[in-house]
A and B are shown apart, each in its own frame.
Chain A
Amino acid sequence: MRVSVRYWIAAIAASALFGCGPSEPQSSGGAAQVRRLTEEQYRQVIADLFGKDIKIAGHFDPLNRTDGLLEIGASRAAITSSAFEQYDLIARQVAAQVIDEDHRNVLVPCSPASETAPDPACAREFFAKIGPLLYRRPVEARTLDKLVAVAGDSAQSVANFYTGLASGLAGMLETPEFLFVADYTEPDPNHPGQRRLDAYSRASRLSFLLWNTMPDAALLKVARDGDLNSKRGLKRQVDRMLASPRLAAGVRAFFADMLGFDTFDTLAKDPIIYPAFVQSVADDAQEQTLRTITDLLIARKGDYRDLFTTRETVMGGPLGLLYDVPVTKPDGWAPYTFSDDDPRAGIITQLSFVVLHSHPGRSSATLRGKAVREIFLCQKVPDPPGNVNFSLVQDTKNPNYKTARQRLTAHRSAATCAGCHKIMDPIGLALENFDGAGQYRTVENDTPIDASGEVDGVKFQGAAELGKVLHDNPAATSCLVNRLYGYATGRPPVQGEKDWMKYLQAGFAENGYRVSDLLRLIATSDAFYEIAPASGAQSASEPSPTGARS
């Protein structure tokens, strides 16, 4: 009996202690945001709602990278009238496919009484089904009425029910409610005087962070029922979403943004200098890195820092040509492990990094060093002054300066250049064993390459050791926390979130730098949904069902 009592006392005490870890600090929250859907999100939503075979031909206006992320740029993006034409065109393309004969039987939940006349009941059923998913919140009856009316008028004029349906759907895809993810707020009962996201905005924030797409029906239901405002309900949804295979899409979207993969769209390599850089390499290089990331961080729940040192990756397509390694599955992807003595280790030695941060016809120690500082350490490197003479560094055939190190050393003799190059070049020069197409080399112009480098006083030799240095650099993990939170909220952290950010960083460390745990910490917190008191036009409005924005 005594043993039993002692056991229970100990168990209760342990339980209490366990639950008494560092509590979440009070956060001010930031301003409410109105974020334009990224192109990737637009595509993902359409695919999730209507199927992957719905083609989206064309691109939208690019977003401006802000504070290191497109997702923050999305909070400051508008749609100009000329850009809107593209949205209109694509909306009509999508709508036309949804109601075509190949899809209507699956995507339209009812059959009209006549295909050549309006059918308000069937139209209403269709819009009522897709409306909450597209708008990410309930659709008001009067909005449904308008959509049914639009569909009816159109069907009447062309004597085709489905064409009418397409008109209504295209209209939905062009509304601000669909194209912008707005933070709707409500008073925070736990912190009188403050505001928090309403349940549907919570759902959207969660879903776009974890899945990079709209909330699914289950999440919207929990939002409608009010469970998403409870700790337990929120945790249950976060657990569900983190366990879903869709998490990979969310993690991929974040890292694609952080790594600047959007610039691959305009990447060009000189085909004479780099003949093996064939068309699909750019896509495959991104895919390789994103698969490396999701495999390490999600499938194996690994340590984020190991991304800088991992020798495990995947290989496929024409990548083997540039890596000069065997590919066991040339028409797909297969695991690949670089040997311990291979110069490649970590994602900064993968093609996606060294190729992206190079010039079309040559490597660039400066661009690579700058990218390491800005992307992985969140350190801003100033742009070069306007009057810099780059001729020396561009002259790769100069007999007096045969290697990048020699050319940059000479270039740095100019005082105006030395300051910035000092913080970029010692990093980038460690990656000089990879040419502008990412191919390994030991010489440049028949001169051996010296791949020694230095980061903030820590010296190393070669790319693999650079990875180890970054692995151990505390700025790398704090940068990741900073970027991920900025990505999640669509804004950089504010002063009132200082303690909260420290808390996140400590939590990240305590959890072994596992990104899925960091996502959980963010997604289940109060701070993530906290909104600073309104002070401008962009600040929160009262919760307002779609179709009646105030």
Chain B
Amino acid sequence: MMSGSLSGEKVETMGIRKGTSAPLFLRRFHYCVLAVALLAAAGILPRVFAEPAKKKTLGLAISAWRTALYETPDGKEECPEGLTLGGDQVWLSLLTPEQRDKVTKHGTVETTQLRDFALERGPHGEDVCWNPTVVKDPPQKTVQGKKSYGLNLDGTDDGHATSETCGHEKFVTPDGVRGIDNQWYRVIGCTYGWRAAGGYTEEMPNGELRDGGHPILVEITGIDDLRNSKNVDIAFYHSTDGMIKDNAGNILPNSSYRVAKDYLYTTHGSIVDSVLTSVPIDIHFPFYAHFMHSERFIKNARLRLDIASDGKSASGLVAGYYDLDSFWSYMERIGELFTVAHFDCPALYEAVHRLADGYPDPKTGQCTAMSVGFSVTAVSGYVIHPDAKTAQAAGPADQVR
């Protein structure tokens, strides 16, 4: 509401014309305004009083993406029944000794051949990863422990069924936060291929990222302060540029990433005590692994990222509901990895549907998605938009880097 100039006559403040007989407190106010203006002009006042602070931007490139697994060294706490068997082991275990001896030619058949036998064992030779319901295998071993990483996604304390969820058990985080939803962990937490020791299924895409893969980008704009910012805008992009690693294989910060066309998800959120939290939205997260482009469709996906004080890295969770169709379209294509990742497609398919806890089908009541928490790490990076013809140096006032 202040306008005019210090040198002209038509100086108005708070709508009161100069020279009129204003009350004493208003005249004092005039003096204060004048003093503040003079100090600002002289550069004496801190910049924040002289002009509004510029909003900052933080670009992040997700450099690793793993299922948030709570694992103990011997696995007995979470998997007291042991780990799941691979499809080949399950199949062999179902054979009589005579049948087993016959198909293995007295133990001389190579693993690759056994893999084919175990994979194409439907009644009519169907591939049991593409057709996981044509045979019925013993149930998959699932997590029995009470601890897990993740977030409370359904808002309940006990996981009871709601109009948007199916009933399920809750977890508690290792540091005591209750009400955690992570049915995805419950399903694959006892499967070698997802655990740290095996890790094949998830290390492969992470390895591809480290070897120049194209990361998912998170651009946070409207930041007042890296530690606390009430309202920020968040955009998810997919890069067309690869990540750069150092000699030790670590992804380096401050690389530049051009954004791919036709990929953009936007939401908003806040930063509180250096933790970014986003408002949930549905996101298709692309990734490349096993020589294929794939995606994870996460419904109601949200971020919870701890941002390093220097803004050069962040880590935390991507949580939401993993769409089962999206999951299985990936699994059916990597089905043949069961011999190294030790999963059994029919049992896994049955487990994910039995334990799914989100997005019930209105007709059948069967949940079509599964609560999940992914552990992600990210490094800072410059997000280059298509209209950026030339780059200007971004000073610290513009970019958090």
Judge whether B256 and A320 touch: CB under 8 Å: yes
With the chains together, A275 CA to B388 CA distance in Å?
Answer: 28
Judge whether B392 and A339 touch: CB under 8 Å: yes
Asked if A419 is at the interface (CB within 8 A of a chain B CB), the reply is no
Chain A contacts for B248, CB-based, 8 A: 271, 275
Judge whether B395 and A326 touch: CB under 8 Å: no
B8-47 interface bits toward A, Cβ cutoff 8 Å, 1 = contact, 0 = none: 0000000000000000000000000000000000000000
Chain B contacts for A321, CB-based, 8 A: 244, 252-255
Classify the interface of chain A: helix, strand, loop or mixed: loop
Interface size on B, residues (CB 8 A): 25
Chain A contacts for B392, CB-based, 8 A: 336-337, 339
With the chains together, A276 CA to B390 CA distance in Å?
Answer: 23
Asked if A53 is at the interface (CB within 8 A of a chain B CB), the reply is no
Judge whether B256 and A326 touch: CB under 8 Å: yes
Judge whether A342 and B393 touch: CB under 8 Å: yes
**Contact with A327, one of B247, B252, B384, B389 (Cβ below 8 angstroms):** B384
B390-401 interface bits toward A, Cβ cutoff 8 Å, 1 = contact, 0 = none: 111111000001
Judge whether B394 and A328 touch: CB under 8 Å: no
Interface positions of A from 329 to 370, Cβ below 8 Å from B: 329-331, 334-339, 341-342
Judge whether B393 and A275 touch: CB under 8 Å: no
**Contact with B391, one of A276, A315, A318, A341 (Cβ below 8 angstroms):** A315
Given A278-B252, A341-B395, does the pair A328, B247 have CB atoms closer than 8 Å?
no
- Distance from A187 Cβ to chain B, minimum over Cβ atoms (Å): 56
Asked if B246 is at the interface (CB within 8 A of a chain A CB), the reply is yes
Chain B contacts for A446, CB-based, 8 A: none
Show 9 A/B contacts (Cβ-Cβ < 8 Å), sorted by A: A278-B245, A326-B384, A327-B255, A327-B256, A330-B241, A337-B392, A337-B393, A339-B395, A342-B393
Judge whether B241 and A320 touch: CB under 8 Å: no
Interface size on A, residues (CB 8 A): 24
With the chains together, A252 CA to B254 CA distance in Å?
Answer: 29
Asked if A225 is at the interface (CB within 8 A of a chain B CB), the reply is no
Chain A contacts for B111, CB-based, 8 A: none
Judge whether A331 and B390 touch: CB under 8 Å: no
Chain A contacts for B245, CB-based, 8 A: 278
Asked if A325 is at the interface (CB within 8 A of a chain B CB), the reply is yes
Interface positions of B from 365 to 401, Cβ below 8 Å from A: 382, 384, 388-395, 401
Asked if B178 is at the interface (CB within 8 A of a chain A CB), the reply is no
Q: Which of A271, A326, A329, A339 has the most CB of B within 10 A?
A: A326
**Contact with B256, one of A271, A276, A328, A341 (Cβ below 8 angstroms):** A328
User: Which residues from chain B sit less than 8 Å from chain A, CB to CB?
Assistant: 241, 244-248, 250, 252-258, 382, 384, 388-395, 401
Judge whether B254 and A320 touch: CB under 8 Å: yes
Q: Give 5 A-B pairs besides A320-B255, A339-B393 with Cβ atoms closer than 8 angstroms.
A: A276-B252, A318-B244, A328-B389, A330-B241, A330-B258
Judge whether A318 and B255 touch: CB under 8 Å: yes
- Distance from B310 Cβ to chain A, minimum over Cβ atoms (Å): 12
With the chains together, A5 CA to B392 CA distance in Å?
Answer: 58
Chain B contacts for A341, CB-based, 8 A: 395
Judge whether A328 and B384 touch: CB under 8 Å: yes
Can you name the residue of chain B whose Cβ is closest to the Cβ of A315?
A: B391
Judge whether B244 and A278 touch: CB under 8 Å: yes
- Distance from B367 Cβ to chain A, minimum over Cβ atoms (Å): 42
With the chains together, A331 CA to B248 CA distance in Å?
Answer: 22
With the chains together, A324 CA to B398 CA distance in Å?
Answer: 13
- Distance from B308 Cβ to chain A, minimum over Cβ atoms (Å): 15
- Distance from B217 Cβ to chain A, minimum over Cβ atoms (Å): 13
Given A275-B252, A276-B254, does the pair A326, B244 have CB atoms closer than 8 Å?
no
With the chains together, A196 CA to B248 CA distance in Å?
Answer: 59
Judge whether A320 and B246 touch: CB under 8 Å: no
With the chains together, A226 CA to B382 CA distance in Å?
Answer: 59
Can you name the residue of chain B whose Cβ is closest to the Cβ of A439?
A: B254
With the chains together, A330 CA to B252 CA distance in Å?
Answer: 14
With the chains together, A295 CA to B252 CA distance in Å?
Answer: 30
Chain A contacts for B391, CB-based, 8 A: 315, 325-328, 334, 336
A171-205 interface bits toward B, Cβ cutoff 8 Å, 1 = contact, 0 = none: 00000000000000000000000000000000000
